[in-house]
Structure 1
Amino acid sequence: FYKAQQLLANNYYDYTLVIRPDIYPLEVLTLLKQHTKNKFIGYQWDGLKRFPVENIIPLFDRFFIFDHTDLTHPDYQSYKLHSITNFYFDMVQPLHIKNNKLQAYFIGDHQACRVAAIQHCAEILAANEVDIKFVIPTSKAKDIKCYKSKYITFGKQNRLSYYENLKHVDSADILVDFVIAGHNGLSFRHFEALYYQKKLITTNTHVKYYNFYHPNNIFIWGERNLDEIQEFLAKPFIQIDSHIVEKYSFKNWIKTILDTSNS
């Protein structure tokens, strides 16, 4: 709190955007609001059931959520919520790296609910002669022993900055996404795949309802017969209309977040 006071000093801002407000003490959020002249905005990019924020939603002038199903959840009907997807950072330009052999990339924290899917996917892709770069950045023995596949890498040294992660995204041919139980919103991987023009394998079935979905580009793991994965890998990537791609850029995202016309 005192560090926040020192940083803010006597400065006041037109807008304040707080991402993942559940990780900040209430007194810090209150202080931030006091230093905001126009709109105090929150964005929760995790499901409200996973990280509850009901007690702080009323503090914000506008509150955005990434899981659209929270809008109709009976527990949140008394709150004024706005739905918005995640995004990709358009200030980083893709290099469109070409590999001699297909490479699949996934990085994510250990979550017990997705261990089986991660292992199964790694084994299936390896059997189809895909290079595997699956990273769980943990050194905890109790977490590591949950995995039996030889294709998964561990260790805190693999905890990358987001920019370093994007380098791996750019050099991969296939991005892989394993939805966390209780989530319905799309992770950043979906939008990075769209922007970097990578194929995507995901366990999130909701992606088929988005305007950028194409079966050549996105394989919904667990919904289709896994025998089809070889056919999917062989299909050419289909270019998505640039207007659709731009819709999910950070530039468009921040404009939507700060727009007061629908307040």
Structure 2
Amino acid sequence: MILKDKLDNKKILFFSVQTFNLEKEIIKKLEELGAQVDYYDERPSNNSFVKGIIRVKRNFYQKKIDSYYREILLKTKNEIYNYLFVNRGEVVPEFFLQNFKKDHPECECIFYTWDSFTNHSHPTQILKYFDKKFTFDPDDAVKFNLNFRPLFYLDSFKNIYKDINEKSKYDLLFLGTAHSDRYTISSKVKEWCDLNNLASYCYYFIHGRLVYFYKKKFDKTFQLFDYKKLSFKSLTTNQILELYKDSKVILDINHPGQKGLTMRTFETIGAGKKMITTNSEIKKYPFYNTNNIYVIDRNSIVMDKNFFELPYVEVDKELYYKASIEGWLKCIFVENESKYWIKDIN
């Protein structure tokens, strides 16, 4: 079935945390495909304080969360929905899903997460309420019997592919949320670039000062972060696109407890860029090519200047489509692709 046929004139209740405006891009694509979308932020508020409280001590904010979802139940009770689509499920309470399914028994409930359950375990308590369940993490897919589906790139990255800049401003680019050993690894790579006359740029984002000071106190790796290099404001999609245009190789540093591939991985595919990554799991995927992807050991970093000179090898058209946001939505709403991405996944 064609994706547009599946979604045309269908009504979707969509929950997602606000993440670098990705939720807006998902809504935009769903609406382009003919769907009507009612969107709610998963969190009652998206300011830095609330995000920090939810990440650090969610119980302190649970009453507000429950009140927020009771209001949504009232607002949606008399609406007719074809799909409930929950992306990530960081705070969606169990009572909301129980009551929503009673009010909308014909609605198909779909869950997706781009985080590992080792980082956020709450979704494991609500999985039973969904008809279709997806995760980007291959280990979680096996452990919790979920469909496996990695992430995607936005349509705007295709324009970079069409307009490759041979004289890039940066040889290497790192963009990412500040966590774990990212600062240590990226600093070492940046030092190597400096010694080898390669230009590099690093941007570290963090969800508010509360999160920073909490992590600095309780997380040893955060004691190494240079506060002056942190940004409490995320880059816009356009800013990210401009940096990609000006860069030759993208540095990807996955969370050490996370096997799923990051959004950066798929953005490099969409933009036709090369990548250096700490995630050795990437070798299992159909787009892995040593011309395009160089894997480093986060505990013993060895760089290779020759990699920067190797020509980029294009991926095939089918894979390029499947890696797009439309390909991602087609998998979620139309067909299961678990076996496509990693052949030996259970």
| TM-score range normalised by the length of the shorter chain | 0.7 to 0.9
Runs (5+) with no aligned partner, structure 2: 1-68, 338-346
Query: How do 1:2-41 and structure 2 match up within 5 A?
Result: 2-5=70-73, 7-8=75-76, 10-33=78-101, 34-35=103-104, 37-41=106-110
Q: Deviations over 1:174-212 (max 9, x none)?
A: 111101021111111111101100110100001111111
Report the equivalent of 1:189.
264
Equivalent pairs counted in the alignment come to 254
- Would the alpha carbon gap of residues 227 and 186 (structure 1) be closer, same or farther in structure 2, given more than 3 Å must change? closer
Structure 1 residue 109: deviation in Å? 1.8
Q: Per-residue deviation at 1:226? A: 5.7
**Structure 1 unaligned spans of 5+:** none
1:90 to 150, 155, 163: 155
Tell me if the contact between 2:77 and 2:100 (Cα under 8 Å) persists in the aligned partners: no
Q: Residue deviations 1:121-142, cap 9 Å, x none?
A: 1212232323222111246474
Cα distance in 2 between the residues matched to 1:176 and 1:117: 10
Q: Deviations over 1:62-86 (max 9, x none)?
A: 111111122333xx3xxx4111111
Is the 2:170–2:246 Cα contact (8 Å) retained in structure 1? no
Query: Any idea what the Cα deviations from partners look like across 1:106-127, whole Å, max 9, x if unmatched?
Result: 2222212333212211212232
How far is the alpha carbon of 1:172 from its aligned partner? 2.1
Counterparts of 2:150 and 2:288, CA distance in 1:
14
How many Å separate the matches in 2 of 1:39 and 1:260?
A: 14
1:146 aligns with 2:216: no
User: What's the counterpart of residue 156 of structure 1?
Assistant: 232
Q: Note if contact 2:158-2:270 (Cα within 8 Å) is conserved in structure 1.
A: no
**Does the alignment pair 1:108 with 2:176?**
yes
2:313 to 218, 224, 238: 238
Q: Which one is further off, 56-65 or 120-129? A: 120-129
Does 2:243 align with 1:173? no
- 2:73 and 2:243 map into 1 onto residues whose CA distance is 38
Q: What percentage of aligned pairs have identical amino acids?
A: 25
Structure 1 residue identity aligned to 2:119: R
Correspondence for 1:65 among 135, 138, 150: 135
TM-score of the two chains, using structure 1 as the length reference = 0.83
Partner of 1:209: 284
Q: Give the residue type in structure 2 aligned to 1:154.
A: L
Of Structure 1 and Structure 2, which has the larger fraction of its residues in helix?
2
Partners in 1 of 2:335 and 2:276 — Cα distance?
36
- Residues in 2 aligned to 1:36 and 1:254: alpha-carbon distance in whole angstroms: 23
